[in-house]
Amino acid sequence: MKKRFGSTDVLYLTTIASLFTLLLTTAVSVHVADPVPDQDTPARPDITQPFITQQVTATAYCPCEKCCGQYADNITASGKSVWTNGSKFIAAPSYMPFYTWVIVPGYNDTAVPVLDRGGAIKDNRIDVFFPTHQEALEWGVQEVTITIFHPSNEE
Ligand SMILES: [Zn+2]
């Protein structure tokens, strides 16, 4: 016997479709994991805040004199040490306040904070930090599309 779709079947299918959409929406939303525990670690980003994306030129740097010259003191412009957030952070132009959280593809899986500044860092330029000069050389200079979240309210 061939069963035809009744109104309960339609309701059932609609529910399944809604659940699937919900699942899909959840899957594509940005997941930001807890940063590595560190006494210098700023607050995690508030991922419920709106965000924008921007194409930038990302240049690698490390704490050495070659990269930082007279500022090679292991302290970023924000006053935080270079070991903050597991040494995963960036230098960005001042339109991104300190503790703005940014996802840089290829650099880190999760968002990293803006902790540093630099003379050459303006417009669409950022610097990504690496603990060693060798790692910085391996990154070099890359064009990436970053995701910028609103600054955290707390340090
Ligand atoms: Zn260096």
pLDDT of 113-131, one tens digit each?
999 998 888 889 999 999 9
- Find, among 41, 45, 30, the residue nearest to 100 by Cα: 45
Residues 119 and 153: their CA atoms lie apart, in Å, by 26
Helical (H) or strand (E) element with 146? strand 141-149
Expressed in angstroms and rounded, the spacing between residue 18 Cα and the centre of ligand 1 is 51
Give the pLDDT score at 59. Answer: 97
Using 70 as the pLDDT threshold, list the residues of the chain that sit under it. 1-50, 152-155
Expressed in angstroms and rounded, the spacing between residue 127 Cα and the centre of ligand 1 is 12
Give the pLDDT score at 42. Answer: 56
Q: Is residue 94 part of a domain?
A: yes
Q: What is the pTM of this model?
A: 0.68
Question: How many domains does one find in the chain?
Answer: 1
Q: Is residue 11 part of a domain?
A: no
Give the pLDDT score at 36. Answer: 46
Give the pLDDT score at 150. Answer: 74
Expressed in angstroms and rounded, the spacing between residue 136 Cα and the centre of ligand 1 is 7
CATH at residue 85: 2.40.40.10
